[in-house]
């Protein structure tokens, strides 16, 4: 394994052989956009302006609800490419997972199969998770399974600064590990002390969700 150094701050991280293999030889990667009607649903998250964008297509067996094919495209770093490649393998191997089972695959499951990712790169494994959730929601809509649609909204935690739970989630994904770290990034709770217990609960929740 070889250290990769961030030119902006001099910090280094190590990629496993598995990560490198999936980066240089991505599985289920789609070079061109899928032709209309070839897949049952697609999802897209991010934007080119922000540097990361992910598109994902799924083909589902109508009788078993199992994912027969999952194809993807992404504009992102090595970690994002490797994580999405591995996710596509996890949900389609051994006859494929059902859509419901695939929705339960966590970022740490992907990282475990990759042999780990640097802590600052965990957010890259979340990109494919969000793209798949959107594709799954679109599949549920098209097949009339409206009760299964996952609704992801934002809740305002600090009303004075209008900071939401999603802002705190992003802070954790960017490296915040405790209340002090989050407050350095967001100033959340500084002028609204009553919000601090909920902020700490959210930090704990997102740390467990993304880092185990």
**Residues 56 and 90 reside in one and the same domain:** yes
Residue 59 and residue 62: Cα distance in Å, rounded? 9
- 74: Cβ contacts below 8 Å, ≥ 6 apart: 52, 53, 54, 55, 80, 81, 84, 127, 128
pLDDT tens-digit map of 70-85: 999 988 788 889 999 9
Q: Calculate the average pLDDT of the chain.
A: 86
pLDDT tens-digit map of 128-158: 888 999 899 999 999 999 889 887 778 889 8
pLDDT tens-digit map of 49-71: 555 678 999 999 999 999 999 99
Residue 189 and residue 172: Cα distance in Å, rounded? 16
Above pLDDT 90, what percent of the chain? 48
**Residues 62 and 127 reside in one and the same domain:** yes
**Residues 126 and 75 reside in one and the same domain:** yes
The confidence band for 44, taking pLDDT boundaries of 50, 70 and 90, is confident
pTM of the full structure: 0.74
State how many domains the chain has.
Answer: 2
- Of 31, 50, 62, 180, the active-site residue reads 50
Q: Catalytic: 77?
A: no
**Residues 128 and 160 reside in one and the same domain:** no
- Of 124, 135, 173, 182, the active-site residue reads 124
Residue 49's pLDDT is 53
Overall average pLDDT of the 108-123 stretch? 82
Which 3 state secondary structure label does DSSP give 104?
A: coil
Q: Are strands 3-5 and 12-14 parallel, antiparallel or unpaired?
A: antiparallel
Residue 12, CA atoms < 13 Å, CB-side half-sphere: 6
């Amino acid at each position: 394994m070889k250290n990769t150094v961030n030119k902006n701050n001099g910090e280094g991280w190590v990629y496993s052989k598995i990560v490198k293999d999936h980066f240089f030889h991505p599985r289920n990667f789609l070079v061109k956009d899928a032709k209309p009607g070839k897949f049952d649903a697609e999802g897209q998250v991010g934007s080119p302006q922000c540097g990361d964008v992910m598109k994902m297509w799924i083909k589902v067996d109508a009788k078993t609800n199992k994912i027969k094919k999952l194809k993807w495209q992404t504009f992102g770093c090595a970690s994002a490419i490797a994580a999405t490649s591995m996710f596509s393998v996890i949900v389609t191997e051994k006859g494929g997972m059902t859509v419901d089972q695939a929705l339960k695959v966590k970022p740490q499951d992907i990282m475990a199969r990759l042999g780990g990712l640097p802590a600052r790169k965990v957010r890259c494994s979340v990109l494919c998770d969000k793209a798949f959730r959107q594709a799954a929601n679109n599949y549920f809509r098209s097949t009339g399974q409206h009760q299964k649609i996952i609704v992801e909204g934002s809740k305002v935690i600090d009303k004075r600064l209008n900071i939401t739970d999603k802002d705190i989630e992003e802070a954790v994904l960017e490296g915040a590990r405790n209340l002090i770290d989050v407050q350095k990034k967001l100033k959340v709770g500084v002028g609204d002390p009553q919000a601090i217990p909920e902020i700490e609960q959210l930090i704990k929740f997102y740390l467990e969700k993304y880092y185990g």
